[in-house]
Amino acid sequence: MSKVYKQVPFAAIVKCPTKNNQSMVTGNWRYLRPVVDKATCTECKLCWISCPDATVDYSKDNGISFNLEFCKGCGICSNVCPVGAISRVPELDFDD
Amino acid sequence: MTLAVAIDAKMREITVWTRGVTLAKEARDVATLMAKAGGSEGLYVQSFDNYVDLPDRIGVACRSYARLSPEPIETYYEYENYHPDVVVICEDTMVKGIDVLAGIKPGTVVIINTARDPQKLLQYLSPKDKLQNVKAIATIDANAFGAGILLTFDGTEGSGDDTTIGAGVGAAIAGAVAKATGYVKLDSLVRVAVNKDAVKKGWDKVVVLPICGGEAFSCGLPENPQEIKWK
**CATH label of the domain that carries residue B192:** 3.40.920.10
Say yes or no to pLDDT of B231 above 80: no
Q: How many CA atoms lie within 13 A of B114 on its CB side?
A: 25
Say yes or no to pLDDT of B116 above 60: yes
What average pLDDT does chain A have? Answer: 87
What average pLDDT does chain B have? Answer: 88
Highest mean pLDDT among B5-9, B86-90, B133-137: B86-90
* ipTM here: 0.79
pLDDT tens, residue by residue, B15-38: 999 998 889 999 999 999 999 999
Task: Give the per-residue pLDDT at A15.
Answer: 61
Q: How confident is the model at residue A18 (pLDDT cuts 50, 70, 90)?
A: confident
Task: Give the per-residue pLDDT at A19.
Answer: 75
Which is more confident, B202 or B218? B202
Structural domain harbouring B93? 3-218
Task: Give the per-residue pLDDT at B219.
Answer: 47
| DSSP secondary structure of A60-79 | TTTEEEE-TTT-----HHHH
Closest CA to B198 of B174, B179, B163: B174
Whether A28 sits inside 8 A of B92 (CB atoms) is no
Which domains are delineated in chain A? 25-93 (3.30.70.20)
Report pTM: 0.87
Q: Which residue of B has its CA nearest to A90?
A: B93
pLDDT tens, residue by residue, B139-165: 999 999 878 888 777 766 666 777 888
Q: Is B96 on the interface with A (CB under 8 A)?
A: yes
Task: Give the per-residue pLDDT at B157.
Answer: 65
Q: Which residue of B has its CA nearest to A32?
A: B93
Mean pLDDT of the A75-86 span: 96
Number of folded domains that form chain B: 1
Strands (DSSP E) contained in chain A are 32-36, 56-59, 63-66, 86-90
Say yes or no to pLDDT of A34 above 80: yes
pLDDT tens, residue by residue, B56-109: 888 899 999 999 999 999 988 889 999 999 999 999 999 998 999 999 999 999
Mean pLDDT of the A74-86 span: 96
Chain B positions in Cβ-Cβ contact with residue A30 (cut-off 8 Å):
59, 93
Task: Give the per-residue pLDDT at A12.
Answer: 52
Task: Give the per-residue pLDDT at A50.
Answer: 95
Provide the 3-class DSSP secondary structure of residue B27: helix
The answer to whether position B223 is within a domain reads no
Q: Which residues of A64-93 are buried (b: 16+ CB within 10 A; e: fewer)?
A: bebebebbbbbebbbeebeeebbebeebbe
Please, which residues have CB within 8 angstroms of residue B127's CB and are 6 or more apart in sequence? B99, B101, B102
Whether A29 sits inside 8 A of B94 (CB atoms) is no
Chain A positions in Cβ-Cβ contact with residue B61 (cut-off 8 Å):
28-29
Task: Give the per-residue pLDDT at B224.
Answer: 58
Q: Which residues of B161-188 are buried (b: 16+ CB within 10 A; e: fewer)?
A: eeeebbbbbbbbbbbbbbbbbebbebeb
Mean pLDDT of the B188-202 span: 95
Mean pLDDT of the B185-199 span: 95
Closest CA to B89 of B22, B137, B155: B137
The answer to whether position B226 is within a domain reads no
Whether A92 sits inside 8 A of B60 (CB atoms) is no
Q: Which of B92, B96, B117 is the best mutation test for A, with the most CBs of A within 10 A?
A: B96
Facing A31 at nearest CB: one of B93, B120, B121: B93
Instruction: Please check whether residue B6 is in contact with residue B43, taking contact to mean a CB–CB distance below 8 angstroms.
Output: no
β partners of residue B110: B87, B137
